[in-house]
Amino acid sequence: MAGVYIHIPYCRQACHYCNFHFSVSRRNLQDFLNALKAEIAMTADFFDKPLKTVYIGGGTPSLLSGGEINAIFEAICRHFSLDDACEVTIEANPDDLSREKLMILQQTPVNRLSIGIQSFHAKDLSYLNRIHSTDQAIDSLKNAQSAGFENITADLIYGIPTLDDDMWIDNLQRLVNMNISHISAYALTVEEKTALAHFIRRGKYQAVSEEQSARQFEIMMEFLESKGYLHYEISNFSLPGHMSLHNLLYWSAMPYLGLGPSAHSYKDGQRFWNISNTERYISSIGQGILPREGEVLSDTDKYNEYIMTSLRTMWGCDLQKVTANWGQERTQFLLREASKYISRGHVYHIDDRLIVSPAGRFLADGIASGLFIV
């Protein structure tokens, strides 16, 4: 499997919690799009197999026009080959998804929409400083389905201080009622240097509670599983047949190419990333230089990454794979270290696999780091 991620670094408004690379000014948008097309040409030899996934994220890629999206795809198709069943996702904010815009998106290769709902409740949308309203969140999903998009994933955030448990269940229930086939849900985290961190420090906003996040994670797990969703990764749920191929690619150490400022790539044990500065990205590409930094992953890095990503998934960590890649001694070490999590009931040891139990899922990242080689 191979895939491409394209980062569109523009948003209409800054959400209070966001620490992604973006700008609310679009003054260099055309220069950026030209640089992006040039970067696509410069990286044409990255893959020796057809792309299974293309993911346009950001930022807010849905603010691009249909012509701009098609121009990006023309460049992609000119320089890479695409599998016939290529999953092509675009991230979209609800306020961009009018009926007209969705008809335009239907004329592009996009076949999967990732819609940033976050919450259906006005209080939460205001706390997060989302630009859209409750009605726009509902309409975007309905309009997308009426326009013929069957493959839709919705993003939600839990642990928002304004979101009580009933409101959280209501958010989940609405997506279930609309038969949304994939849901990604993230705990609200307060990243340094965000407006949210500043407001909480100043006492203007209520702080985020770990206990609330843990409780709402449990509620979600139970609720969505009872509605037939598969909890296939800590933050991801899907109806049968609707897992995200692009996500699977990230979690299985397959090669992916990141295009645009701040985008990350991975291939053959090397990771690299473009600078998180759109002006410098444009100028470097203009001089024919890929604006990248990178690192070669050590054997230990690869092991730690495998532990981290595999334990977040429902398939867990394959002990035969650990033995094949890192030797029998490493497997013995892993089992010794995992024994305390197994005895607490947070990890199951089943058929040569370590799988995080439902009781351990909220703690999965901490469990994984407890099993790292340091």
Give me the residues that bind ligand SF4 (CB under 6 A), please.
11, 14-15, 18, 20, 22, 58-60, 93, 116
**For ligand SF4, which is the closer residue by CB, 275 or 297?**
275
Minimum distance, C-beta of residue 184 to ligand SF4, in the bound complex (Å): 13
Q: Which residues pair with 289 in a beta bridge?
A: none
CA atoms within 13 A on the CB side of 336: 7
**For ligand SF4, which is the closer residue by CB, 22 or 80?**
22
CA atoms within 13 A on the CB side of 223: 20
Minimum distance, C-beta of residue 332 to ligand SF4, in the bound complex (Å): 43
Q: Among candidates 27, 15, 55, which has minimal Cα distance to 278?
A: 27
CA-to-CA distance for 95 and 150, rounded, in angstroms? 19
**For ligand SF4, which is the closer residue by CB, 8 or 317?**
8
Q: Among candidates 268, 261, 350, which has minimal Cα distance to 314?
A: 350
Minimum distance, C-beta of residue 116 to ligand SF4, in the bound complex (Å): 6
**For ligand SF4, which is the closer residue by CB, 190 or 373?**
190
Minimum distance, C-beta of residue 117 to ligand SF4, in the bound complex (Å): 12
Residues in the chain: 374
Instruction: Find out whether 113 and 151 touch, Cβ atoms under 8 Å.
Output: yes
Q: Among candidates 77, 74, 3, 1, which has minimal Cα distance to 33?
A: 74
Q: Which residues pair with 92 in a beta bridge?
A: 115
Minimum distance, C-beta of residue 186 to ligand SF4, in the bound complex (Å): 10
Q: Take residue 233 and report the two structure tokens written for it.
A: 């990764």
* Phi and psi angles of residue 248, each rounded to the nearest 5 degrees, phi first: -60, -35
- The structure tokens 């220069």 sit at 31
Minimum distance, C-beta of residue 128 to ligand SF4, in the bound complex (Å): 8
Q: Which residues pair with 182 in a beta bridge?
A: 153, 238
Minimum distance, C-beta of residue 91 to ligand SF4, in the bound complex (Å): 8
**For ligand SF4, which is the closer residue by CB, 116 or 261?**
116
Minimum distance, C-beta of residue 73 to ligand SF4, in the bound complex (Å): 21
Minimum distance, C-beta of residue 15 to ligand SF4, in the bound complex (Å): 3
**For ligand SF4, which is the closer residue by CB, 94 or 316?**
94
Alpha helices in the chain (DSSP H): 29-42, 66-79, 99-106, 122-128, 134-146, 165-177, 195-201, 210-226, 245-251, 278-286, 299-311, 319-326, 328-343, 364-370
| CA torsion through residues 100, 183, 22, 42, sign | negative
**For ligand SF4, which is the closer residue by CB, 181 or 262?**
262
**For ligand SF4, which is the closer residue by CB, 157 or 319?**
157
Q: Take residue 317 and report the two structure tokens written for it.
A: 């960590």
**For ligand SF4, which is the closer residue by CB, 14 or 200?**
14
| 22 torsion bin: left (phi>0), alpha (psi -120 to 50), beta (else) | beta
